[in-house]
Amino acid sequence: MDTTGILDEALQRLHTTGPERLGRLTNHAPMAVEALTARGQARAVHRWLDRYARKLEDFPPRVEPVTDANWRSALGDPARAADWIGHFERELAEHPWREVLERWWPRLLPGLYGGSTHPVIRVGHAVRTLLAGESTGPRLAELAHGLGYWVARHRPAAVPARLPGADGAATALDAVPAIAVQDGGFPQRLGRVTALPVWTGGETTEPGQAHGRLTELVRAATHRYAAYGHGEETMLVHAATAPNAVLRTLPALPQALWPASLRAAWTACAAVTAMYTPAEPVAYVPPGALTPEEVFQRALAHGDEHVVKLADTALDVGDARALAAALRAVELSTPLG
């Protein structure tokens, strides 16, 4: 990981900004700079941030402190984001970060859809950093910002009806029916997801199997982007990056929480697939002789935050079809200005 302090500098710079802009669009910068650092591109972090800066807004105002007595009334209230972030900053100053994460993870899993799944992705990046290196002040603060954003955007969804499915993750994703009307934003589309296929492989109650099945799901969703990303080049990224955020968090959680995490990740992945998948795939285009490092360099040169994050997940998967998915995102997406 980063040994130069650049990641900590970038996080400190970003913690003066809010988790969103325009009241609904997510601040992706903390996730992207963590990905750049994790992939050996720390020297590019501040240059990338300078390009992204126009998408940042000031940190939002506080309303009143969140406490053990009133937290339920503030759950899912985006106007309380600053209050929630402050709450987790205090929690992480008083308790080990794994203990705080363990306490809140089961509460937050039903609201995985909140903020179009961006909060759990931000938490996944923060946890990867903490697991890999020193628990510095900025890195703990980043976990507080991620958890606070997730609670503020907590959005449970109705449990969809269960359709016939399949044992394999890829086959189960192929069985996901697209919603009939594909227009509107994430909340409107999510409300139209009334039924999803059963992924029987994701029904396991064994923690060891849950980790393996979640790895399979991330691979299948990443591979699928290579053929279906044109359905919505930005939002379909989350079908891969949201379950990967859960996968990255598992090592920091008690194994008893792994099966429920797998089920929540599957439902979110399948729902995003239903909301944005196109009618027909395109032909698979192999990545050629490009190395994973070269693919990530192309994502960095392109600059779009979703392209960077999908390339980061593709490198986790590590095979040719995953690299092809990252290159497809480069092709489909508008470069960062």
Average pLDDT over residues 2-30: 93
* Whether residue 326 has pLDDT greater than 90: yes
Backbone angles phi, psi at 59, to 5 degrees: -60, 135
Tokens for 286? 């192999």
* Whether residue 132 has pLDDT greater than 90: yes
Average pLDDT of the chain to the nearest whole number: 96
In angstroms, what CA-CA distances link 226 with 69, 78, 218?
47, 34, 13
Write down the domain spans for the chain: 6-152, 157-337
Q: In sequence order, which residues have a C-beta less than 8 Å from that of residue 5 and are 6 or more positions away?
A: none
d(CA 217, CA 166): 13
pTM: 0.97
Give per-residue pLDDT as tens, 148-166.
999 999 999 998 999 999 9
Tokens for 102? 């363990």
Percent of the chain surpassing pLDDT 90 = 96
* Whether residue 3 has pLDDT greater than 90: no
Average pLDDT over residues 184-198: 96
Q: How confident is the model at residue 4 (pLDDT cuts 50, 70, 90)?
A: confident
Average pLDDT over residues 166-185: 96
DSSP letters for 47-90: HHHHHHGGG--BPPPP-S---TTTHHHHTT-GGGHHHHHHHHHH
What is the SS3 assignment for 166?
strand
d(CA 331, CA 279): 20
Average pLDDT over residues 216-221: 98
Average pLDDT over residues 116-124: 98
Which of 237, 252, 234 has its CA nearest to residue 312? 237
Percent of the chain surpassing pLDDT 70 = 99
Tokens for 266? 């599957």
* Whether residue 48 has pLDDT greater than 80: yes
**Element at 115 (helix H, strand E):** none
Average pLDDT over residues 232-238: 98
HSE toward the beta carbon, residue 103, CA cutoff 13 A: 10
* Whether residue 261 has pLDDT greater than 90: yes
* Whether residue 1 has pLDDT greater than 70: no
d(CA 250, CA 101): 11
The pLDDT of residue 95: 98
What is the SS3 assignment for 232?
coil
| 254-261 own/partner pairs: CB under 8 Å, 24+ apart | 254/102, 255/207, 255/208, 256/207, 257/102, 257/105, 257/106, 258/207, 258/210, 258/211, 258/214, 259/204, 259/205, 259/206, 259/207, 259/210, 260/106, 260/109, 261/105, 261/109, 261/210, 261/214
In angstroms, what CA-CA distances link 54 with 27, 51, 66, 256?
11, 7, 30, 42
* Whether residue 192 has pLDDT greater than 80: yes
Judge contact between 75 and 151, C-beta under 8 A: yes
CA angle 185, 187, 188 (to 5 degrees): 65
* Whether residue 230 has pLDDT greater than 70: yes
